[in-house]
Structure 1
Amino acid sequence: MTAPTRTPRRTRLRRAAAIASVATVGALLLTACGDDMNGMEHGGGKSSPSASGDAGSTDTGSSDAGSAGFNDADVTFAQMMIPHHAQALDMAQLADGRASDAELKAIAEQIEKAQEPEIETMKGWLRSWDKPTAPESMPGMDHGDDDGMMSDADMRRLKGLKGTEFDKTFAEMMIQHHNGAITMAEDEQKNGRYGAAVKMAGAIVQGQTAEAEQLNDILDRL
């Protein structure tokens, strides 16, 4: 019977060391994987909220003027158009008892019916936006030809007229006034964000352009 071959002691020690080394490496790998998995989980948890947070910030910023989604152009449009409409109402009300042309009287009534509700609507927007109904007084805010506003002297002169003279002066002034409103409304169409304000601006452009043309026709025949 053949005697079993004995493995040299040195070889057995080498094998044991190798096995121990493999076991150690395996344990280290498992530990590393565990750390990586934990890191991946935490990383995912951090990146997701960060991504959603960034998106949320973008959304909030884009509608930062409140949940309504307005911007500075909308605020300026409302704040400037309110006194503009108010003066148009003052002019239109002067037609009662002073104007002689039936078509011009009808336009004056039309202005009152259209612009008075718009003033209340714009005041409501500003309240909901927590903004004042009038802009703060600033240098260069005096009314001029660009916005079509009449001076106090212009209004006094119009108030002192009657008949055909009133009709001519009213038509000339209101055309200038309407042109100023149209310019303001076109700016809102280009730069505004609040849907209802942009829509109102479109209605102002359309309605007041038609009225200005009608007033030009009246001037031609007076």
Structure 2
Amino acid sequence: MKKILPLSATALAALIALSGCSTDTNGSSMPGMDHGSSAMSTAPPTNVGTETGADHNAADAMFAQSMLPHHSQAVEMSDIMLAKPGMDAKIVSLAKDIKAAQGPEITTMTNFLNSWGESTTMTGNHSMAGMLAGTDLDKLKASQGTEAAKMFLTQMTAHHEGALEMAKIEVSGGKNAEAVTLAKSIVSSQEAEIKAMTELLATL
């Protein structure tokens, strides 16, 4: 018993010393020491990162990364129309509705990617259906009156159809529940807008 007590006291003192060291250095000295203590000191941040990263898959990331520039272009197209004088009230209303819907969605998808630890831009060459070329945007900017309205409706319909393709891929292959819900919302709202634009175009 006399031998056990000093050893126990020594072990206790060592543990206290190690605890103090860990607190003072934020765990920086622990990896080279006891692995059990190291695991305890580093497990919380590691687990949090893992849980966040595991809450999405490649389809979710691709959906948000590709939809961001797609939405941004739709907002740009709407701004072009809103800057034109004497535009039909229905075209103005449509452009405002598109901005009102897609602006907040851009923020939401940016937040998704940031929370997942993913880049907000895509890497490599990935085509996005419905995206307009620079020359198409230039034509829209230069057009006026009924010609501009018809061009906007035609271009935005094709743009929306491209967004539907990407959103439906997310609905079928995405893992993150919030991203899938957003994709379903995009499908619903943009299908309705395509119908409205088709009907409006027929009246011009």
TM class, shorter-length = 0.7 to 0.9
Residue segments in structure 2 that go unaligned for 5+ positions in a row: 1-46
Question: What fraction of aligned residue pairs are identical, expressed as a percent?
Answer: 37
Q: How far did residue 66 of structure 1 move?
A: 3.0
Q: How far did residue 96 of structure 1 move?
A: 1.3
TM-score by length of 2: 0.72
| 1:149 counterpart = 2:135 | no
Written as runs of structure 1 = structure 2, the 5 A alignment for 1:47-62 is: none
> Deviations for 1:110-133, whole angstroms, at most 9, x for unmatched residues?
010110111111111111111100
- Which consecutive aligned stretches of 4+ in structure 1 deviate over 6 angstroms post-superposition? none
- The separation in 1 between residues aligned to 2:127 and 2:185, in whole angstroms, is 26
Equivalent residues of 2:53, 2:117 under 8 A apart: no
| 1:135 counterpart = 2:119 | no
The residue aligned with 2:63 is: 77
Q: How far did residue 65 of structure 1 move?
A: 7.0
Written as runs of structure 1 = structure 2, the 5 A alignment for 1:54-203 is: 66=52, 69-98=55-84, 100-138=87-125, 141-143=126-128, 147-203=129-185
Q: Which amino acid aligns with 1:96?
A: L
Q: Which amino acid aligns with 2:90?
A: E
> Deviations for 1:128-182, whole angstroms, at most 9, x for unmatched residues?
11110011133xx245xxx100000000010001110000000000000000001
- The separation in 2 between residues aligned to 1:161 and 1:191, in whole angstroms, is 40
Task: Note the aligned Cα RMSD (angstroms).
Answer: 1.8
The residue aligned with 1:21 is: none
Larger radius of gyration between Structure 1 and Structure 2 = 1
Equivalent residues of 1:104, 1:215 under 8 A apart: no
- The separation in 2 between residues aligned to 1:179 and 1:114, in whole angstroms, is 16
TM-score by length of 1: 0.67
Indicate which of 189, 192, 198 corresponds to 1:210: 192
Q: Which amino acid aligns with 1:162?
A: Q
> Deviations for 1:158-210, whole angstroms, at most 9, x for unmatched residues?
00011100000000000000000011100000000101110110110010111
Local SS of the residue matching 1:134: coil
Q: Which amino acid aligns with 2:196?
A: Q
